[in-house]
């Protein structure tokens, strides 16, 4: 009996060409995609978008800016800001991953000449940039590190003799002319947080939206599979006899999946609000608008996949592939700033990226409708196109 069941399962898989292809071609494909994501998040391919501001240009700031722009692991924005406020605005809006402020007098030992502005949702970006800046100063501007360290040594030993001072000045001049590196760059960099002061952390707010769209997609894909069962059992054919045809089946399921998704997101954010004190009530209208748009998109995609697939096994495999890839590339698993630039660009083609951006913009940055209208527009476009595909394919299957 066991052998018979094994034979039945093997024959069933072999006869379903689509399920066979999905079962053995998708696993290595998913591995390649995830390898690219996670290796890029920890390797040289991760390139931070940096907003650079120079309070007052000088010879030293120009040298450091040139070194920063030549560094392949950083993407310095084309415009160099002239004030700290402009760099902060760029970081707070999400345009830049992290900000960098250069003081006019880099060799002033009284304060740290380099200020790094960190978004609380991207703490790792600040640590990475701090290490990169100190490395660049040590390798390409060793004279700066030495000129800042020498006065401290002089104060400890009671000052330098004229001969020692002359030798020190000559050494600093020599260092500025060649590529000799120094190891000690402590005290050069200071880190400061940007953004609003909230009871909840930016990371919790970010992942509330990231998990919400992840479960919306999973739930919609699984629930939409009932369309295949009803089609195979003949229920859709009997309903199609009516004047509305198969459209009522698709639209009815679309409304159900949307309402189900909204309730699921409400539960997720209710826990976030009660346990982690995520502020939702002040932004309730825009939050509800974002939730509805995300639920529309997930429901539409789920029905589109179910209408195209011919068996539940196909639908399950393809749905899992779509959800995993969209969630990984779109930022539900790993924040997108940690990915290589080319993967960040691809991520904009997933509903996850737009949903996360809208939730984070509303709940953390306090953005208005005008700021998130592009996010909502993209989600509604995906929902409309996917629902249209589901309706048209269902009509076509009825005629075949």
The answer to whether the CB of 122 falls within 8 A of the CB of 335 is yes
pLDDT of residue 270: 95
**Which tokens go with 213?**
């769209």
Distance separating alpha carbons of residues 78 and 50, to the nearest angstrom: 10
Q: What is the pLDDT of residues 185-200, one digit of tens each?
A: 456 788 888 877 655 6
Q: If we measure between CA atoms, which residue out of 116, 155, 302 comes closest to residue 226?
A: 302
Torsion angle of C-alpha atoms 105, 106, 109, 113, degrees rounded to 10? 110
pLDDT of residue 181: 44
pLDDT of residue 180: 47
pLDDT of residue 242: 64
Distance separating alpha carbons of residues 198 and 201, to the nearest angstrom: 7
Residue with tokens 């590190």: 145
Q: What element of type H or E holds 348?
A: none
Residue with tokens 């539940």: 312
The stretches in the chain having pLDDT less than 70 are 13, 16-19, 21-22, 37-45, 104-110, 142-187, 197-200, 236-245, 399-400
Q: What is the pLDDT of residues 273-285, one digit of tens each?
A: 999 888 899 999 9
Cα 38–chain centre separation: 13
Q: What is the pLDDT of residues 69-96, one digit of tens each?
A: 888 888 999 888 988 889 988 998 888 9
Please give the order of strands across the beta sheet that includes 48-54: 74-76, 48-54, 98-102, 114-118, 189-193
pLDDT of residue 256: 95
3-state secondary structure at position 192? strand
Give all domains of the chain, ordered by start, each with its CATH number.
Answer: 48-193 (3.40.1710), 199-399 (no CATH)
**Which tokens go with 148?**
């800042």
Question: Helix 17-42 and helix 2-15: axis angle, to 10°?
Answer: 80
| Residue 195 falls in which region: left (phi positive, over 0), alpha (psi -120 to 50) or beta | left
The 10 Å CB-count burial string (b at 16+, else e) for 68-102 is: beebeebebbeebbeebeebbbbbbebebbbbbbb
pLDDT of residue 163: 57
Residue with tokens 């195979």: 232
Strand boundaries in the chain, DSSP class E: 48-54, 74-76, 98-102, 114-118, 189-193
3-state secondary structure at position 18? helix
């Amino acid at each position: 009996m066991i052998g018979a069941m094994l034979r039945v399962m093997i024959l069933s898989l072999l006869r379903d060409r689509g399920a066979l292809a999905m079962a053995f071609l998708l696993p290595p494909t998913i591995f390649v995609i995830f390898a690219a994501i996670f290796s890029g998040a920890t390797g040289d391919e991760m390139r931070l978008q940096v907003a650079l501001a120079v309070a007052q240009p000088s010879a030293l700031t120009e040298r450091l800016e040139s070194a920063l722009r030549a560094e392949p692991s950083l993407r310095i924005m084309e415009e160099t800001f002239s004030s700290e406020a402009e760099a902060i605005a760029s970081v707070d809006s999400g345009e830049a991953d992290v900000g960098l402020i250069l003081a006019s007098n880099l060799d002033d030992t009284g304060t740290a000449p380099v200020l790094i502005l960190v978004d609380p949702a991207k703490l790792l970006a600040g640590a990475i940039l701090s290490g990169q800046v100190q490395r660049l100063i040590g390798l390409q501007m060793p004279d700066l590190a030495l000129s800042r360290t020498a006065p401290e040594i002089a104060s400890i030993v009671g000052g330098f003799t004229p001969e020692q001072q002359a030798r020190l000045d000559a050494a600093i001049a020599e260092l500025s002319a060649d590529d000799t590196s120094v190891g000690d760059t402590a005290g050069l960099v200071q880190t400061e947080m940007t953004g609003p002061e909230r009871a909840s952390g930016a990371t919790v707010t970010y992942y509330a939206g990231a998990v919400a769209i992840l479960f919306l997609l999973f739930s919609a894909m699984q629930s939409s599979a009932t369309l295949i069962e009803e089609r195979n059992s003949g229920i859709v054919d009997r309903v199609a006899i009516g004047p509305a045809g198969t459209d009522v089946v698709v639209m009815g399921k679309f409304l159900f999946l949307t309402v189900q998704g909204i309730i699921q997101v409400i539960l997720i954010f209710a826990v976030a609000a009660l346990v982690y004190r995520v502020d939702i009530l002040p932004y309730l209208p825009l939050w509800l608008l974002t939730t509805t748009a995300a639920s529309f998109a997930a429901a539409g995609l789920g029905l589109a996949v179910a209408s195209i697939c011919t068996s539940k096994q196909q639908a399950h495999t393809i749905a899992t592939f779509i959800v995993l890839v969209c969630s990984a590339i779109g930022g539900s698993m790993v924040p997108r700033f940690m990915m290589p630039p080319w993967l960040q660009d691809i991520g904009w083609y997933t509903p996850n990226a737009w949903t996360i951006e809208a939730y984070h913009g509303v709940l953390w940055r306090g953005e208005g409708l005008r700021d998130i209208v592009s996010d909502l527009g993209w989600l509604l476009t995906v929902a409309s196109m996917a629902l249209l595909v589901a309706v048209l394919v269902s009509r076509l299957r009825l005629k075949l």
